[in-house]
Every structure is written in structure tokens, then in C-alpha cells.
Amino acid sequence: MIKHLIKLIWNKKRSNFLLTTEIFVSFLVLFGVMSLMFYNYGNYSEPLGYQYENVWAVYYSRQDAPDSVYYPALDRARQYLAGQQEVEAVSFTSYNTPYSQTTMRWNASYEGRSVTSEMIAVDEDYGRALDIEAKEGRWMSPAEVATAERVVVLNRQAAEALFGQEPALGKMITFEEGGLAWKVVGVLGNFKLGGEFQVPKAVIFLNHKAHDHRADAMLVKVKPTAGAAFESSMLKELSRIVKGANIELSYLTGQRRTQHAFTKVPMILAGTICGFLLLNVGLGLFGVLWFAIRKRREEIGLRRALGATHTGILRHFVGEAAVIASFGMLVGLFFALQLPLLDVFGLDKQVYFQAAAASVLFLLLLVVVCAFYPSRQAARIQPARVLHEE
């Protein structure tokens, strides 16, 4: 029967051309949206690597205070925060805090291998503030931070890029040719600085005291009970301690929402356009089939006379719509599969295959749903009546 349907549709290829073209275009758009969704879902399902709830990021910008005044003031500010009942942990960090949409990328090397990695200057409490546990080794110790030792903690991606399958602990890496060596003391799992939708990338955490730029922010992990009153008094006190600096506070949860909007908005826009296109396809299919059935009443009556059942006629017309859609999708698949074959956007090939399969299934489902009602009407046609219509 499928062969018969293909033959029938092929012989009517001119009248089916527009519908096939519409399905082809819809397939490509749907494939694009699905690829984006699968790509984002794939990233989302990778562990984030830290906890962001009840973490506040405090940023301070230095005005004209000399180092001898500014850094001791920051240390006092840290001591003040660490002594507050509402505070569970506090850590110095560079300005590229999670979800902050800022970045600091350096090239790290080890014996001829190198990786461009996110660099985050931190202290011994960064792991505690974000609830991060080392998979191997440990976080940098208070003593190492206090004595400004050149120690680093790597995430999994950085360790794999620099050392492959070799153990990372104890190895010495550099950040510039002939530069000073930094000792690896710990390896983490993922650390997705840009948030859940980010591809896990290489991140290296280095002792902020051994780093020229020191820290420009603090991450403050507070208790869930810490409210606006504490926030207000804390900011006042910090302004008093670190004189001449502008101090700003952001919740990581708020920054996370903003960051997610950057990913979700294009996806929602593309999804909405795609939705309208699919609605158009659905209505088009419905209309074309409705018209075809009115035009082919005689054929339907004939098929019934020759032995087709009600269900047979229903299946015939739904099948015809599915075959027409399959023609459009086959051409679409040809173009879509060029993306993984030519590795155009550098995405995992599986994303494209999943998107192609989902697009095919979705369009087939749409076709079946839209074809069902007109096909049911076709199945109800009385053969005795239509075979005598002139």
C-alpha cells in the first residue's frame, strides 16, 4: 500500500509541490529550534558544580586608595563578615563571579600542552562559599593563601586538557612562556561559571594573594534567614570599613535569572516563530486534505466499492499526508545532516541526530493529527451516492 501511495503522490507531484516545500521549510526551522533545545538541554543536564542559593556577590571598585590602605581595609571587611551570625562563609574572589557575565581567560601550559582557561582568583574559603568539593586533592589551604604560595585548583576540563589521563596533583603549570610555575593541589568536577546552559569549560582557580590583581569581589554565603535588614547594615558597615570604594551587592539567584534570560529569550522567540510556522503547516495540511477529499469523492466511493473498509480509507488519506510530509522531510534531512557531516558549528553530532529524529517525529505527529479529521470525513462518504454523482 505504501508503494501505491508513493506512486499516487509522485504522479500528482505538481499539485503536492507547494505542500512538500512548506513541510521542507518547516522541517529546517524545526530542526534548528530542536538543535538549539537539545544543545541547551545537554548543557543544562551537565552538573553545575556549585551551589548558588543564599550566596551574595559583593563588588567593590577601588577609587584612589593606595595598596597599603586598601588591602588591609579589605581584610578587615572580610573579618567583619566572617564574624556575622548570618554569614556561613565568605571568600575573596576576582570579579568573574558565577553568573556575572564577566570573564578572564588566560592560556595555561604544561609540557607543551596548553589550554585557554577561565582564571578565577580565590582564597581558601571559595569552596565553602559555593559548596564545592574537590574530586582529587584539596582546596588551597589558609596557610598557602596567607603565604601567597602559587597554588592552583583545576576543574576536570582544565586537568584533562593539560594532563590527559595522567594524575594532575603536584604538577606545575605556567601561564606565560617562561613564567612562574603554579602547583596543582586539587581537581574539581564541572564548574560552569556562566551557569547551567553553559558548555562545561576549563576553569583554573588560583591563590589571589599570589596573583597581581588580587581580588575585586567577595562571595558571601548567608543563612536562609538573612534578610533585608542584615543586607542593609552589612553594606553600611562595609562602606565604613573600605573607605573610598563603591560597593555593590548582587544575589547570585538574581544574576542567574538574568543569565538564563539570555539563553531562554532567543529559544522562546525561535520557538514562537516555529510554532506559527507549524500552525500554518497544520492548517495548510488540513485545508489541502479537505479540498482533496471533496475533489476525490468519486475515487473514495470507488475504493470502497472495490473492497476498502472505513478504516482503510482513513488510513489511506492519513498515509498519503504522511508520505507527502516524508518527501519534504527527506529533502530537509539531506540539508540538515550536512551540519554534523561538515561540523559547521562544532556541536556534538548527537545533538543534530536527536534534533533530526525529534523533528521527524513531531512533524509526522502533526501531520497525522491534522489529517485525521478530513480523513475520517472521507471514510464516512457513502459510496452508493458518490458513484452516481456526475
Closest CB 301 distance from other proteins, rounded Å? 8
- Footprint on this chain of other proteins (rule: CB under 8 A): 1, 3-4, 7-8, 11-12, 298-299, 301-312, 382-384, 387-388, 390
Q: Provide the sign of the torsion angle of the four alpha carbons 90, 52, 107, 173, taken in this order.
A: positive
Q: Which is nearer to other proteins, 307 or 346 (CB)?
A: 307
Residues 208, 151: contact at Cβ < 8 Å? Answer: no
Closest CB 306 distance from other proteins, rounded Å? 4
Calpha distance 355→29 (Å, rounded): 11
Closest CB 370 distance from other proteins, rounded Å? 22
Closest CB 305 distance from other proteins, rounded Å? 5
Which residue type does 138 have? R
Q: Which is nearer to other proteins, 246 or 382 (CB)?
A: 382
Q: Choose among 39, 128, 65: nearest CA to 91.
A: 128
Angle at 101 between CA 97 and CA 106, to 5 degrees: 70
Q: Which is nearer to other proteins, 350 or 382 (CB)?
A: 382
Closest CB 298 distance from other proteins, rounded Å? 6
Closest CB 375 distance from other proteins, rounded Å? 16
* DSSP state at residue 164: T
Calpha distance 348→336 (Å, rounded): 14
Total H helices, total E strands in the chain: 13, 11
Closest CB 9 distance from other proteins, rounded Å? 9
- The DSSP code sequence of 51-83 is --TTEEEEEEE--S--HHHHHHHHHHHHHHHHT
Q: Which is nearer to other proteins, 158 or 292 (CB)?
A: 292
Q: Provide the sign of the torsion angle of the four alpha carbons 98, 99, 104, 108, taken in this order.
A: positive
Backbone phi, psi, residue 47, to 5°: -55, 145
Which residue type does 266 have? P
Q: Which is nearer to other proteins, 3 or 67 (CB)?
A: 3
Q: Choose among 375, 97, 93: nearest CA to 214.
A: 93
Closest CB 284 distance from other proteins, rounded Å? 21
Calpha distance 171→167 (Å, rounded): 8
Q: Which is nearer to other proteins, 123 or 320 (CB)?
A: 320
The C-alpha cell at 75 is 581584610
Q: Which is nearer to other proteins, 236 or 310 (CB)?
A: 310
Q: Which is nearer to other proteins, 8 or 104 (CB)?
A: 8
Closest CB 386 distance from other proteins, rounded Å? 10
Count of residues in the chain: 390
Closest CB 336 distance from other proteins, rounded Å? 30
Q: Which is nearer to other proteins, 4 or 213 (CB)?
A: 4
Residue 177, Cβ density class (10 Å: 0-12 exposed, 13-18 middle, ≥19 buried) = exposed
Q: Which is nearer to other proteins, 4 or 236 (CB)?
A: 4
Is residue 355 helix, strand or coil?
helix
CA atoms within 13 A of residue 39's CA, in its CB half-sphere: 18
